[in-house]
Amino acid sequence: MAVNLHVLDELRLLKLSLIAAGVFVSVALGFALLTGSDSILFDGVYSLISFFMTLLTLKVANLVARPDDDRFHFGYTAIEPTLNLFKSLIVIVTCVFAVFGAVNRLHDGGHSAEYGLAIVYGALATTGCFLVAWIMKKRSQHFLSDLVGVEAKTWFVDGLLSGSILVGFLGAWWLEHSSLSEYATRVDPILLIILGLAILPIPGKIMIDSLKEVINQAPPQIVVYEIEQRLKKSLIEVSYDHVELRVSKRGRDLYLLVHVVVSESFGHETIIQLDDIRRNSEQAMKQWNPAIVMDMLFVKDPLLAD
Give the residue extent of every domain in the chain: 2-214, 221-305
Contacting residues for 185 by C-beta, under 8 A, at least 6 apart? 109, 110, 111, 112
CA gap 27, 16 in Å, rounded: 17
pLDDT tens for 124-158 read 989 998 998 888 888 777 666 666 777 788 788 77
Q: Determine the CATH number of domain 221-305.
A: 3.30.70.1350
In angstroms, how far is CA 178 from the centroid of its own chain? Answer: 43
137 contacts 152 by C-beta, under 8 angstroms: yes
pLDDT tens for 232-277 read 999 888 888 889 999 888 777 788 899 999 888 887 678 888 889 8
147 contacts 7 by C-beta, under 8 angstroms: no
Which of 122, 266, 243, 235 has the alpha carbon at shortest distance from 187? 122
161 contacts 41 by C-beta, under 8 angstroms: no
pLDDT of residue 281: 92
CA gap 113, 107 in Å, rounded: 17
CA gap 183, 172 in Å, rounded: 8
25 contacts 53 by C-beta, under 8 angstroms: no
7 CB-contact burial (10 Å; exposed 0-12 / middle 13-18 / buried 19+): middle
Output the DSSP codes for 126-169.
Answer: HHHHHHHHHHHHHHTTTS--HHHHHHHHHHHHHHHHHHHHHHHH
pLDDT of residue 206: 84
- Looking at the predicted structure, is the pLDDT value of residue 208 above 70? yes
Helix pair angle (38-64, 2-35), 10° resolution: 160
Neighbouring CB atoms inside 10 A of 208's CB total 11
Which of 17-26, 64-73, 125-134, 204-213 is predicted with the least confidence, judged by mean pLDDT? 64-73
44 contacts 32 by C-beta, under 8 angstroms: yes
CATH for 2-214 (1.10.3720.10, 1.20.1510.10, 3.40.50.970, 3.40.50.720) = 1.20.1510.10
pLDDT of residue 258: 92
Rounded to two decimals, the pTM is: 0.66
